[in-house]
Structure 1
Amino acid sequence: MAKRDYYEVLGVAKNASEDDIKKAYRKMAMKHHPDRNQGEGAKASEEKFKEAKEAYEMLSDAQKRQAYDQFGHAGVDPNAGGFRGGPEGFGGGGFAEAFGDIFGDIFSQGGGGGGQRRGGQQVYRGADLSYAMEITLEEAALGKEAQIRIPTWEECDTCHGSGAKPGTSAKTCTTCHGSGTVHLRQGFFSIQQTCPHCHGTGKIIPEPCTTCNGQGKVKKQKTLEVKIPAGINEGQRIALRGHGEPGTQGGPAGDLYVEIRIKQHDIFERDGDDLHCTVPVSVITAALGGSVSVPTLGGEAEIELPEGTQHGKTFRLRGKGIKGIRSNYPGDLYCHIQIEIPIKLSEHQRKLLKELDESLKKGGDKHSPTAKSWTDRMKDLFK
């Protein structure tokens, strides 16, 4: 039977990129893989799988693809000297070498820890950890150096990290012969996975250390120095590299992320680099105007209230906010005026206020901050 065009087999155009060819092959391989097609139709799927594999082998190699584009199947026929044949005519490296990158992508999806090979064994990076640290607004604005205590793993003093009971030693795993991996075969297809007996260590411990239960490490507490930069904000994180969970089989440790939580302040509210505060003033001060002291993170400051300052009026003090980590200049402080109404008045004070009220009423609308008094506006509403 004449072979089908390789581009047609993979469903790609003749000018397809290497990435397009790889993606098309992965899709075909997943669809027609023997493990996914059992029973009726398995033979047909296996043939399509082999056909797709052969097409990818030719088109993923630049020299073979060029020969195929020029001379067709004759240009890559091993019997015609187009290339050096190997097992099944698919190159000297055979199936595992030619397609290791493809199936490495397919079967490594979803694997955790960033596994790598080292000395024939699978090694994994340790997990990242998170630590919540609560600081004050002043500490966030000015920065500080702090210490935290976290749990960590250290080498067991009893077995010195071997995991074996003193006087004994670990043995080579008889399942994987010390490699840490085993191969599962189904027909011509082979998958490599972590040895289920030794869990990738390549060794078995007949008599585990009673102190660490064969882990070779014990959990302890350690103290770390944390430098909090000035201007840090709520939710920002500081990375302490290599202080996460330890890796396995010699893999690198993960990182520790210190996440900042800022305590609620009695006076200020933060909005980015700006600060907001409420400034209570008396009715008399608001009416007559005058100098009022307001708090800042650096001490007190003065603002001048004009005569007739109304409730809710906002005064802006430039540069009295917080200089953020990525800011060139500090933010501003916004002071919101809150007029306080006196309570528990004496009879004399009541009399004075009534006299003031009568005097203001005689003046008409000229004492009102609006064009008309409240009474007049209500009358207009119900006309």
Structure 2
Amino acid sequence: MGVDYYNILKVNRNANEEDLKKSYKRLAMRWHPDKNPDIKKREAEAKFKQISEAYDVLSDPQKRQIYDAYGEEALKSGNVPPPPRSGGATNFRFHPRDADDIFNEFFGGSDGVGGGGRGRGFGENFSRNPHADAAGQPPRKIPPVEKNLSFSLEELYSGSKRKMKISRIVPDVYGKPTTVEEILIIDIKPGWKKGTKITFPEKGNQDPGTIAGDLIFLVDEKPHAIYKRDGNNLLVNQKISLLDALTGKTLNLTTLDGRLLTISVTDIVKPGYEMVIENEGMPISKEPGKKGNLRIHFDVKFPSRLTTEQKSDLRRVLGRS
């Protein structure tokens, strides 16, 4: 079989997608060239490339199927036996992915670990187009698939993880379309907004001789019974009686993370009055530790009618006798 990708990635042969990701993250951070002293630079680069190649093969259903059945040599050469009772050749061609591209999918950015400014690639093998064919022409990539994914305001406030089971169509060893299922982990960061894109590169459908399309999830917000979002702020409409508007009131609100927020209203509340509670809005995803504001808009409920005695009392109290 040649190279043992399972051993390189420290996983067993039944490893699922989540197992592969966990192991890759741990090993890639350990052997990333920017994380090692100069004396180990060459060794680290070679090890990092091995780890990336192992993840590339084992995380791709078609590549893994060929590797498991025929080994590394057949995978890389494309010399895969034709289907039984078929005289034709298979049209599989091995396209290794760039090690930096894989790393950046997990950790983001293109400036290396810790902002080291390494840029892309460690040499000639990493700087070429990883999908180019023998003539240097890249195959067509399938257009991306976009799907809406709804989250509660509580999930977008605190952050959450969600497992998604997807089905996609890819060519098997012989180029025949086959349906494969995978489990994707969607990691929602606190404060993400409606329209945020979560991209899983090459996790869409694939035709023979093409590159699989990307799968993109678009964040959507479910309506909330109390709060409405406005950018990084949260809005609340609060009805209040005329008596409370004039004499004051204590409000109790349950925040999106389950805290009890007690708010004392001491000012005279006029129609259209708004109270701003700083730092009680949505988390700001690009500024950890900071939040928007909570804005409470008051709707003063006036009585539908008053008795003669009540009108007289109001004139006396308000100084309009």
Tell me the TM-score normalised to structure 1 length: 0.44
Q: Deviations over 1:279-323 (max 9, x none)?
A: 222211111124232343233322222253212211111110111
1:152 equivalent among 154, 164, 168: 168
Q: Say if 1:244 and 1:256, in contact at 8 Å, map to a contact too.
A: yes
Q: Structure 1 pair 222/351, CA: closer, same or farther in 2 (3 Å)? A: farther
Alignment identity in percent?
19
* Cα distance in 2, alignment partners of residues 287 and 123 from structure 1: 72
1:314 equivalent among 257, 274, 278: 274
2:227 equivalent among 268, 274, 299: 268
Q: Say if 1:280 and 1:340, in contact at 8 Å, map to a contact too.
A: yes
Give the secondary structure class of the aligned counterpart of 1:253.
Answer: coil
Q: Structure 1 pair 341/221, CA: closer, same or farther in 2 (3 Å)? A: farther
Q: Say if 2:171 and 2:207, in contact at 8 Å, map to a contact too.
A: no
Give the secondary structure class of the aligned counterpart of 1:355.
Answer: helix
* Cα distance in 2, alignment partners of residues 150 and 323 from structure 1: 30
Q: Which has the larger radius of gyration?
A: 1
1:339 aligns with 2:300: yes
* Cα distance in 2, alignment partners of residues 277 and 150 from structure 1: 37
* Cα distance in 2, alignment partners of residues 363 and 276 from structure 1: 37
How far 1:234 sits from its partner (Å)? 0.5
Gaps in structure 1 of 5+ consecutive residues = 1-113, 163-214, 365-383
- What pairs up with 1:57-68 in 2 under 5 angstroms? none
Report what 1:257 is aligned to. Answer: 216
Q: Say if 1:152 and 1:245, in contact at 8 Å, map to a contact too.
A: yes
Gaps in structure 2 of 5+ consecutive residues = 1-129
How far 1:128 sits from its partner (Å)? 1.6
1:136 aligns with 2:148: no
How far 1:256 sits from its partner (Å)? 1.0
* Cα distance in 1, alignment partners of residues 241 and 294 from structure 2: 21
Report what 1:302 is aligned to. Answer: 262
Q: Which runs of 4+ in 1 moved over 4 A?
A: 119-122
1:238 aligns with 2:209: no
Report the residue type matching 1:272 in the other structure. Answer: G
* Cα distance in 1, alignment partners of residues 142 and 250 from structure 2: 60
How far 1:243 sits from its partner (Å)? 0.5
Tell me the TM-score normalised to structure 2 length: 0.52
* Cα distance in 2, alignment partners of residues 243 and 272 from structure 1: 31
Report the residue type matching 1:275 in the other structure. Answer: L
Give the root-mean-square deviation of aligned CA atoms.
2.9
- What pairs up with 1:1-383 in 2 under 5 angstroms? 116-118=132-134, 123-154=139-170, 161-162=173-174, 215-246=175-206, 248-249=208-209, 251-298=210-257, 299-328=259-288, 329-342=290-303, 350=307, 352-359=309-316, 363=320
Report the residue type matching 2:299 in the other structure. Answer: Q
| Bigger mean CA offset, 236-245 vs 306-315 | 306-315
Report what 2:41 is aligned to. Answer: none
Report the residue type matching 2:224 in the other structure. Answer: H
Q: Deviations over 1:60-118 (max 9, x none)?
A: xxxxxxxxxxxxxxxxxxxxxxxxxxxxxxxxxxxxxxxxxxxxxxxxxxxxxx99433
The number of aligned residues is 190
* Cα distance in 1, alignment partners of residues 136 and 176 from structure 2: 21
Q: Structure 1 pair 220/351, CA: closer, same or farther in 2 (3 Å)? A: farther
How far 1:267 sits from its partner (Å)? 1.6
